[in-house]
Amino acid sequence: MEKSQGKRESWGSRIGFIMAAAGSAVGLGNIWRFPYLTGTNGGGAFILIYLVFVLGVGLSIMTAEFAVGRRANLAAAGAFKKFNPRFTFAGVLGVLSAFFIMGFYPVVGGWALAYVFKSVTGLLSNSAAIGDYFGTFITSSIEPLVWMLIYLLANILIVARGVQGGIEKASKVMMPSLYVLFIIIAIRSITLPGAGAGLEFIFKPDFSQVTGSTFLAALGQAFFSLSLGMGCMLTYGSYLSKEENLQKNALIVTLMDTSVALIAAIAIFPALFAFGMEPAVGPGLVFVVVPSIFAQMGGIGVILSVIFFIALTLAALTSSVSLLEVVVAYLIDERKMERKKSVNLAGGIMVITGILSSLSMGALSGVKILGVGFFDFFDILTDKIFLAIGGMLIAIFVGWFMKKEDLKDELTNGGTIKFGLFELWYNVTKYIIPIAIGVVAVAGIMSIEQTALMIFGIALIVVLAIFSKKL
């Protein structure tokens, strides 16, 4: 469907939209990042704080994004501009966030894809060498680059086909498959002897390791995992029909996303403890610990490993297409470009940032911007500042710059459906969320090591805000 000039594209069905929005939410954030953050932040306490942010902040912001997107019938930047031009920068910040996340996401997506094949070509044959194997793989120049490019190409092909024909169709197949695959692995994991210690690790909170940066990590993770704070859900909401119940959809998507994160933790930690391994290994967790677990299971391990990495790749794909879509929708709506051209332009830039990120693990490991390599630059800037500030901006925008009646009208479909918690949602979004994010951001930024990077990120947002009128 090529409808950039005429009628705007839309979702084909309700279930299609839910699958696409949940597809965007469920991704590397749930299966790669959530477990390793849980592992490095002490387990249950981190999960509990995370859940509080998801339900207390994330759900309301998702509702807000859906409402603003559908009301404006435009993607992020255009939607803000339509209601208040001084906020255009919040949309542009979202487009920038999408570019930055796509600066590192396809690299990890490429690793996941590579591991589908590596699972059957010897990765699991020597369990003691799996850590070194991962290290050698990600630091080599050509191999991860090739996988990253294949992964990125898949994104470009899907998004070029449009909203209904590409994103919706792909998500409708990929999301249910993912659920089934993960549940199989989780069941295997909790039935291993000694799995109880892992369940205790994730469900029995120990607050002794909690600091300011734990809260920032949990908040950033909530935004990242739910695809919030950068206009992605706003853009998806803009393709939604006027008959849909927005708050119900937001709740379904939030619960789906959270359940996958929890299932991923249940799949990983019981097995990890059953095999006497260490939880706090960082970003390599999924790629080192999970194959090690599978390697110790014999023949069935190979099959489970293939299933696991297919699931991870599919989950990643339905998320990165939404990131690409944020940029593409901006180019279509605001720059009046055609879909195919926009995809090629955005995809082309992402090839370059992806190459830099991939090489920053190896050949370019000496190149630092503000103290970190390319991969970390894109990752930390978005996860630790842009998404949280973006979420704060949408809360402020909805609470202070939109008409309350308009919001009520949008969320009740012109008074035809009920939203009993409207007042609660409105006041939480208007007063509590901006303050909560502000407090967490300040506490977190103060306890973070990459001070120069944080200052740069904030300065960038300020510059965007100042030049808002020109955007």
Task: Specify whether the CB–CB gap between 29 and 224 falls below 8 A.
Answer: yes
Half-sphere exposure of 67 (CA within 13 A, CB side): 32
CB of 56 to ligand PFF, least distance (A): 18
User: For ligand PFF, which is the closer residue by CB, 195 or 441?
Assistant: 441
User: For ligand PFF, which is the closer residue by CB, 30 or 189?
Assistant: 30
CB of 413 to ligand PFF, least distance (A): 25
CB of 139 to ligand PFF, least distance (A): 23
Backbone angles phi, psi at 173, to 5 degrees: -90, -45
Contacting positions for ligand PFF (CB under 6 A): 24-25, 27-30, 101, 224-225, 227, 230, 232, 319, 322-323
CA 257, 258, 259, 261 dihedral sign is positive
CB of 352 to ligand PFF, least distance (A): 20
CB of 326 to ligand PFF, least distance (A): 6
User: For ligand PFF, which is the closer residue by CB, 49 or 101?
Assistant: 101
Task: Specify whether the CB–CB gap between 251 and 61 falls below 8 A.
Answer: no
Backbone angles phi, psi at 195, to 5 degrees: -70, -20
User: For ligand PFF, which is the closer residue by CB, 134 or 223?
Assistant: 223
Q: Could you give the CA distance from residue 218 to residue 54 in angstroms, rounded to a whole number?
A: 9
Backbone angles phi, psi at 338, to 5 degrees: -80, 155
User: For ligand PFF, which is the closer residue by CB, 93 or 130?
Assistant: 93
Q: Which two tokens stand for residue 57?
A: 């902040």
CB of 175 to ligand PFF, least distance (A): 13
CB of 147 to ligand PFF, least distance (A): 18
CB of 322 to ligand PFF, least distance (A): 5
Q: Could you give the CA distance from residue 368 to residue 373 in angstroms, rounded to a whole number?
A: 5
Which residue number places its CB atom closest to ligand PFF?
29
Give the Å distances, CA to CA, from 137 to 105, 131, 140, 451. Answer: 17, 10, 5, 30
- List the beta bridge partners of residue 372: 369
3-state secondary structure 394-429: HHHHHHHHCCHHHHHHHHCCCCCCCCCCHHHHHHHH
CB of 367 to ligand PFF, least distance (A): 25
Backbone angles phi, psi at 450, to 5 degrees: -85, 65
Give the DSSP H or E segment for 446: helix 433-446
Give, as one character, the DSSP assignment of residue 280: -
User: For ligand PFF, which is the closer residue by CB, 25 or 274?
Assistant: 25
Task: Specify whether the CB–CB gap between 315 and 27 falls below 8 A.
Answer: yes
Q: Compute how many other C-beta atoms are within 10 angstroms of the C-beta atom of residue 466.
A: 10
CB of 445 to ligand PFF, least distance (A): 20
User: For ligand PFF, which is the closer residue by CB, 232 or 445?
Assistant: 232
Rg (C-alpha) for the chain, rounded Å, is: 21
User: For ligand PFF, which is the closer residue by CB, 37 or 232?
Assistant: 232
User: For ligand PFF, which is the closer residue by CB, 29 or 373?
Assistant: 29
User: For ligand PFF, which is the closer residue by CB, 99 or 425?
Assistant: 99
